[in-house]
Amino acid sequence: MKHPPYSPRRGRSQTVIGCALAFLPCILLGQTAPSSDVIQLDPFEISADTDAGYRPTQTNVLTRTNRELIDLPQSVDVVPAEFLEDTGARMMDEAFVYVANAQVRNSSAGTGPNSILIRGFTNGSSFTDGIDTGSYRRDMFGYERMEVVKGPASAVQGRGTDSGYINFVLKKPFVGRDFTNTSVQLSSGEHDKNGMRATIDHNFAVNADKGIYGRVAASWDNHDHYFDFAEFKTSALYPSLRWVVNEKTDIAVVGEFMDIEAPARAPGHGFAWIPAVYRKEIPVIGDASDPITALNLPSNFNIGGPQRGTDDTVMSLLGIVTHKFTDQIQFRQAISHFEDSKDGEWWDAESNFPTPHTSISDEFKNDPATQYDPNGVYIPVQQGYVHGSSNRLTLQGDLNVEYGSENLNFVTLVGYSYKDRTTYRKDTPGTIPVRYSFIDLKNPENAWVGRSIEPGSVRVSRATDDYYDEFGYYIQQDANLLNNRLLLSGGYRRDTGEGYQRNYLTNTDSAKTKSTVNSWRAAGTFKVNDHFSVYGIVSTQNNPTATTNVWSDLPAGDPRLQERISGTPSTELTEFGFKGYLFENRVTYTASYYDITTTGKFGNDRVDTTSQAPDTLGDPVLSALKKFVTDGDVGSGIELALFGKITEQWDLNVAFGTLKTSQPITGGTRPIRHSPEWNGSVFTRYDFTNANGKGFGVRGGISMIGPFMQQVGGALSRIEMDSSQWRMDLGVDYTINRNNSIDLLVKNVTNEPYIVTRTNPLRDIRLTYKYSF
């Protein structure tokens, strides 16, 4: 089955690139000689120099233009690189531990649009420097900061940002600075799970006289996963080049090249909960009399056994040109080319409950290879492969114009976005040979040894290419009144897209579908004084009609795998609150109330059913996933945050959120799954270093969540987790001199079995040596 080498729309893509590049001669023509001074290209440039400790001061993620956080009329959490390093956020899933109302859905994989839950809803997409690059595993070392937008960014980023989105800002060259930072880390977790990690970050002047600077960041990681038969192996490279052409023009090119080997799933660590330490936390299945719980299987138990996992590769190149025509008129053009691929295999449990021996076939019992035990505890297993790739070209341009007087100032931003993408996906569930269809939890190795999928038993359930291109334009109008005390902002965006799907199983192309969606927002901020402001926003995000399969996790050949449903997602946000500064503007605090309502999105539920596949007709299929279209899902609550420097030595980050959710179902409503009623965290750092920078630093944090509705495969669709959970991280570092330091971090100090949609690692100890020059 061949993946087509040529997209019929590639010619159009090249035409658009040509139009974008045509701006360059106009910008560069007649420019003066470059300057070696540090140049700030407002309103578009954000530098890591503005991140003071745990307190970032500016962002352009919400409005596409630089704003002080106190001026933003919506909740945005900015997590700078220093905080990511202090909390030990190696991979993307570890970066959300101290972010309020953001829960990681898949802690072992961390991929896909459903990986992060923001205010109870799945986020639609992830961005890199404001460019939609989709969701993929990320090594956090390559980023200067992570920005979490709560609620839709409807009038700026367009479709796919309905419940909020995450923006990752890549490391770029600093002007006028030379440094090299290196580190080597050794780690050791529970059950002898060990690892090693190395990083380097080198910033240098290529030709300072001509304003050319470079930066290369790289990381290498090889550590055992917290359950058996799984590793994380990461190699990542982030080269970048910056040319300060002159005081008006700046050009940056940034690359991201990454290869990650990791588990495809978390077998027995989510929806099917097998290890006793986690299982005991879940009502219904955690009682000591439960036959699986009574086995007391260890936290590192992997019911899937030895398996290949997945191999993810990412190749991305981003170019950004920023130009000042005048102090009041500025322009930015971005061009991004992104490619990724995934190839993986998984084995997992289908249920949380043992299969009665009377339901196990004679073929299985009589096969010598199974070593069937009449006293064994058997559960069914599932298996599959997945292969996918995507190719994305994105062009994005913004023109920012300021005009008016000191007491009545206006800012108009107009822009466009063009996206051309091809996505390939091939799913190949296997018809599991009878001898491997059950695992005896008393003797699981009997099912693992020699396990294979028999030739001819693998069936391709989906093999498709999705072609899609989209053009959008947007306008944002700001008015700064009363000597910049009253800030009013409105935005409108219109996106028009066209796409079709090529089905390799039927050798047919679907009819082209066209869609046009409009999104808008209106917001205001009133600055009572320079240290306190109140704000409010209403926003509507609309997305094109989408179609998806109703059923998954069914045996290959089941006719229900062909059933499809369609939904037209829409999200409405209402939010208001206040923001301010404390301790001579070293600390920022925010408080907000929010209400999000979504319709037309896809929800899903686990249902018990029987197979309709010819080979397994009538056999039980536990916990098949069935999708439905939501109609009025609601999430509301409050959020509080405080972050910054209490003193020059003391950094503090505090976050708290509540979340009340409701989802209509037949006969009433129910809470949305995996949405804690409350969550909170505190992380702090204190430096005891002397004037020369030598000495100790200590840090630590606690993260907590309240009750929520859990999904448990093979049981009731929703089970209440009525107890709160918490975990603690502690660290200490010692700076020997300006070049050398040692750091010790203990993650989850007290070995808490912290779970939301998946289990999380138990205690992990990390020792890091850092050398800078």
Of 318-322, 381-385, 562-566, the poorest mean pLDDT is in: 381-385
Report if residue 735 sits inside a domain.
yes
What pLDDT is recorded for position 397?
Answer: 95
Report if residue 1 sits inside a domain.
no
Instruction: Give the mean pLDDT of 147-152.
Output: 87
Q: 646-650 — which CB contacts under 8 Å span 24+ positions?
A: 646/583, 646/586, 646/587, 647/583, 649/686, 649/687, 649/688, 649/689, 650/684, 650/685, 650/686, 650/687
Q: Band of the pLDDT at 373, cuts 50, 70, 90?
A: very high
3-class state of residue 69 by DSSP: helix
Backbone region of residue 674 per phi and psi (left: phi > 0; alpha: psi in -120 to 50; beta: other values): left
Of 111-120, 189-198, 343-352, 576-585, the poorest mean pLDDT is in: 111-120
What pLDDT is recorded for position 116?
Answer: 83
Q: Band of the pLDDT at 113, cuts 50, 70, 90?
A: very low
- Does residue 164 contact residue 551 with C-beta atoms inside 8 Å? no
Report if residue 3 sits inside a domain.
no
Asked if the model's pLDDT at residue 3 lies above 50, the reply is no
pLDDT tens per residue, range 398-413:
999 999 987 889 999 9
Instruction: Give the mean pLDDT of 684-693.
Output: 92
What pLDDT is recorded for position 37?
Answer: 37
- The span from the CA of 78 to the CA of 87, in Å, is 14
Residue whose entry in the numeric block shows the structure tokens 């040894």: 449
- The span from the CA of 352 to the CA of 554, in Å, is 17
Report if residue 4 sits inside a domain.
no
Contacts of 581 (CB under 8 A, 6+ apart): 70, 530, 531, 532, 587, 588, 589
What pLDDT is recorded for position 341?
Answer: 92
- Does residue 173 contact residue 242 with C-beta atoms inside 8 Å? yes
Asked if the model's pLDDT at residue 685 lies above 80, the reply is yes
What pLDDT is recorded for position 64?
Answer: 72
What pLDDT is recorded for position 472?
Answer: 93
What pLDDT is recorded for position 5?
Answer: 40
- Does residue 400 contact residue 413 with C-beta atoms inside 8 Å? yes
Q: Where are the beta strands (DSSP E) in 460-586?
A: 462-481, 486-503, 508-509, 513-529, 532-542, 546-549, 551-552, 564-567, 570-582
Report if residue 409 sits inside a domain.
yes
Cα 544-545-548 angle, rounded to 5 deg: 130
Q: Is the bond into 43 cis (omega within 30 degrees of 0)?
A: yes
Give the residue among 723, 730, 655 at the shortest CA–CA distance from 700. 730
Q: Mean pLDDT: which of 331-335, 550-554, 562-566, 625-629 is highest?
A: 331-335
Report if residue 46 sits inside a domain.
yes
Contacts of 747 (CB under 8 A, 6+ apart): 88, 729, 761, 763, 764, 765, 766
Q: What is the DSSP letter of 226?
A: S
Instruction: Give the mean pLDDT of 134-163.
Output: 81
What pLDDT is recorded for position 547?
Answer: 82
- The span from the CA of 320 to the CA of 6, in Å, is 27
Residues pairing with 534 in the sheet = 526, 578
Q: Band of the pLDDT at 160, cuts 50, 70, 90?
A: low
What pLDDT is recorded for position 57?
Answer: 72
Asked if the model's pLDDT at residue 50 lies above 90, the reply is no
Sheet containing 102-104: order of strands: 102-104, 116-118, 121-122
Q: Band of the pLDDT at 727, cuts 50, 70, 90?
A: very high
Report if residue 734 sits inside a domain.
yes
Please give the tally of structural domains in the chain.
1
What pLDDT is recorded for position 715?
Answer: 56
Q: Mean pLDDT: which of 142-156, 187-201, 499-513 is highest?
A: 187-201
Asked if the model's pLDDT at residue 23 lies above 60, the reply is no
Secondary element (H or E) of residue 295: none
Instruction: Give the mean pLDDT of 417-443.
Output: 85
- Does residue 116 contact residue 138 with C-beta atoms inside 8 Å? no
φ/ψ of 43, rounded to 5, equals -95, 10
Q: For the chain, what's the residue count? A: 773
CATH code of residue 735: 2.40.170.20
Per the model's pLDDT, the better-predicted residue between 708 and 51 turns out to be: 708
What pLDDT is recorded for position 572?
Answer: 92
Residues pairing with 386 in the sheet = 344, 427
Pairing outcome for strands 309-324 and 272-273: unpaired
φ/ψ of 632, rounded to 5, equals 90, 40
pLDDT tens per residue, range 231-247:
989 999 999 999 999 99
Asked if the model's pLDDT at residue 104 lies above 90, the reply is no
Average pLDDT, the chain: 85
pLDDT tens per residue, range 206-226:
999 999 999 999 999 999 989
Pairing outcome for strands 126-128 and 164-170: parallel
Secondary element (H or E) of residue 16: helix 10-21
What pLDDT is recorded for position 34?
Answer: 37
Percent of the chain with pLDDT over 90: 51
Q: DSSP letters along 578-625, please?
A: EEEEETTTTEEEEEEEEEEEEEEEEEEEEEEEE--SGGGTT-EEEEEE
Q: Band of the pLDDT at 722, cuts 50, 70, 90?
A: confident
Q: DSSP letters along 743-754, please?
A: EEEEESTT----
pLDDT tens per residue, range 436-492:
889 999 998 888 876 766 555 566 777 888 999 999 999 999 999 988 899 999 999
- The span from the CA of 513 to the CA of 573, in Å, is 28
- 0.75 exceeded by the pTM? yes
Contacts of 27 (CB under 8 A, 6+ apart): 249, 321, 323, 331
Q: Band of the pLDDT at 45, cuts 50, 70, 90?
A: low
pLDDT tens per residue, range 252-291:
999 999 999 988 888 888 888 899 999 999 988 888 899 9
What pLDDT is recorded for position 457?
Answer: 59
Q: What is the DSSP letter of 34?
A: -
pLDDT tens per residue, range 586-596:
999 999 999 99
pLDDT tens per residue, range 633-680:
999 999 999 999 999 999 999 999 999 999 888 778 889 888 999 999
- The span from the CA of 390 to the CA of 342, in Å, is 9
- The span from the CA of 606 to the CA of 717, in Å, is 6
Percent of the chain with pLDDT over 70: 88
Asked if the model's pLDDT at residue 735 lies above 60, the reply is yes
pLDDT tens per residue, range 531-545:
999 999 999 988 888
- The span from the CA of 167 to the CA of 129, in Å, is 6
Quote the domain boundaries for residue 258.
Answer: 10-772
Report if residue 5 sits inside a domain.
no
Tokens read off for 351: 């249920």
* Helices marked H in 219-378: 276-279, 362-366
Asked if the model's pLDDT at residue 19 lies above 50, the reply is no
Q: 615-619 — which CB contacts under 8 Å span 24+ positions?
A: 615/431, 615/555, 615/557, 616/431, 616/555, 619/555
